[in-house]
Chain A
Amino acid sequence: MGDFTVLAVSCIFVNNILLAQFLGNCPFLGTSKKMETAVGMAMAVVFVMVMAGLITWIVDHYLLKTLDIEYLRTVSFILVIASLVQFVEMFLKKSIPALYAGLGIFLPLITTNCAVMGVCLINIKEEYTFFQALAASLFYAIGFGLALIIFAGLRERIDLARVPKPLQDTSIGLVTAGMISLSFFAFKGMV
């Protein structure tokens, strides 16, 4: 159990996928203008990341490793994640229309999210067991959501502030992202 606590702190705070690993920056900047959108995106990421973490771990262990073709990892993961998202979308549309409507456009958008890919690859690189991989994927996704929501909240405030013209919009967004990232560095000492 202790291992999982450490894993949680490490994935959510210390090695935050957005702020420490700098993956998934496009949705980070693109969907953080409104709190509502940010929450939708975070939910979709949690969902897809866990699913992708599971499937890719299985593919890696039972196919790539046994056939000794690990060098195909990246290519096959792209294929697997893309079809997985499509599959999940179809499944949700039929079975849980409410969730489908809630996630809306964000679900297909995640197909090309590098954070998802990144988490899958990290799971393999760290040589996690199946359950560790499952937990790590979940915690990374939570970390992603946390950072995104914090950032969206800040950006809503920044909208109301007096920002010099050259720095408006994305520029000030990047500066802010950098500052949050710096503050997250403080967690480095924890683990």
Chain B
Amino acid sequence: MARSKETLMLLLDVGPSMHPYLADVSKCMTTLIHRKLMLSKNDEVGVVYFGTTETDNELNKEMEGYHNIVVVEPIAVVSQDLAHRLENIPCGFGSSDFLDVIVVGCDMLMKKLGENKKGNKRLCLVTDAASPVREPSEGTVEDQVRNIAERMGEQGIKLDVVVVRVGQNFLINSTGQHQNDVLLDLFKLHTQAEIGIARTATSMLGIIRPRAVSPTTLYRGDFELTPDLRIKVWVYKKTSQEKLPTLKKYSNEAPASDSHATREVKIDTEYKSSDNPDVSVPPEQRTKAYKYGKNFIPISSSMEDSLKFKPEKGVKLKGFVKRSDIPRHYFLKESSIFLPEPGHQKSIVAVSALARAMKEHDYAAVVRCVWRQGQTNVVMGILLPFVSAQENVADGFYFNVIPFLDDMREFRFTSFSSMPESLQPSCEQQEAAYNLVRMLDLSPSEDEELLQPEQTINPVLQRFYYFLHLRSLNPEAKVPPLDESLRCIVEPDLLRLDENQYAINQFSQQLTLTPNIQENGKKSFWKGERRDGNVLQIKDEPAFMDVDMKNPGSVSFNSLASRKVEEIGSANPVADFEALMARRDSPEWVGKAIQGMKKMIYDLLDSAYNGNTYEKALACLISLRLGCVIQEEPLEFNFFLRDLKTKGSTIRLQDFWQQVMGKKITLISKDEAPDSNVGAAEAASFLTSEKLIAKKEEPADEIDEMEALLGGAMS
């Protein structure tokens, strides 16, 4: 993708009031340069400090004035050295006049690129805008700003301003700051200017746009309201997810000493005939085939092409709807924006009229879009009004894709109001929730919003580019920790004061949340299994699978209690056992269930042939252990497991015991059930000690036999 080259001037305030933030500024600047080095390495950057003690710039030499401004880096192609030099920004003790430095910046851009030349020119000003600007010899400061801004507009110089107000809120702005803010806002009226107020170090990183994406339209053409009423629009992307760059595959085939090696890997994809795997089938002999049940239906590309849905390019209005007709969560993809064709006055007014009417009466427009000729699908979307607050920016519409019937899966979930009383929050609990929502407020006023998406940089990308830089200097470099200024994205307590802690504590106390040990234990159990790549294969045992594994939570003890199971049958022992354990009509059932299950496990093992019942027995054992934990019968289980271990040391049952160890089914410790006579350490060592002994005692040929058996059972 060709991107137009950008020339950027960094204008950095180093005056006394900025000293506390210079470290953050320097981090922002290096982040910016690192990213440019990777994504747009031909961009040019110049750096000017202002608020310095000294003065060193051409305008000063040419025509006096412009004091306390030092050009430290003339405009040059970005380099790692530049990033390095920006790591330490020196403090200055002069006064900071941001207007003067803007003029110096513009002057440098124009001298470098020539006047009236096209090109991507941008100033990036970082200041706290605390010191007053110099009064001009004639006219007002406002006039001066307007003049400069108009000149910038004519020359196409964009301006990004980061106003550093870390730890300050709107109310305590001094009048001097306020005046300066007004002056900066004036720039917006005449050139493309973006002014961001950084109240946290996080937002400072976010406000500085690391790279300028050259705008490309998704669509240019008519927006057809009726066949007779067409408005000329251009459509741009408004959001587009910036991803990690696709890394190249690395080959270490060439010797390390070969500095000219490209290290690249080619991927060769071949389509091989199923009759003869040595024959590669050329493209013209390949036909697409769609799966249709057990058959594949070949459809030639020419046929497919002739039958394909081919709508005409264009954007048509389907109709207007009330905004609430399209819920927010229907928005399907990244957003775009519809703008009237630049310079087409009539379309600008038409879009403006519609957007304002839609905003006033809360309407949205449903549109049918075919962006390009030859596109083989249509996109349905919704337009919401964008009414510009600036008089030099045209009104438009935000566009979001909405789903088709085919994309929706409608399900009903139990209504909260019909939930049983026991699950409803009490008055106190509800009050705690209200307090939490009120206190953890990230948007306390109109002008203040913390962690605003527009000002929050992607921490993964930030870390990636920083790491790339580190590793380019040192191939052994480790991944750095998350940048300090981005930690508040992960740890909310860093964001706000102690008052929140009270609300959180109150919420935690009022709403008791108890993790279900049964569920959690099981979950981590299975998870652990999967990581080991040692998944228990369950065959011909749907009951076990459905009850125990597929949906661990779906069968509650309560539901099972309603069925009157009397004993444990061989068809479905786990479910029977759980049902028995859940019976409340007599205390006998628990004992019966445990005894029954033990017998079942022994029976299964006794009847085993080539380990064919082991999976079932194992499932029973797991279930038995769980039941004993819940019913606080650890001794029953521990006794049984010890017995099993003795039996497991016989050759016949050795392979089964191996599986028990593989599943880490150990004694129930005191931690799990207080009645247990076994400590956690003993429980843990119960299996390992056995393992060592087993290894010692097992003759080699028996291991082979065991593997053969296991192989048979597991395949």
Answer yes or no: do A and B interact: no
Which residues from chain B sit less than 8 Å from chain A, CB to CB? none
Which residues from chain A sit less than 8 Å from chain B, CB to CB? none
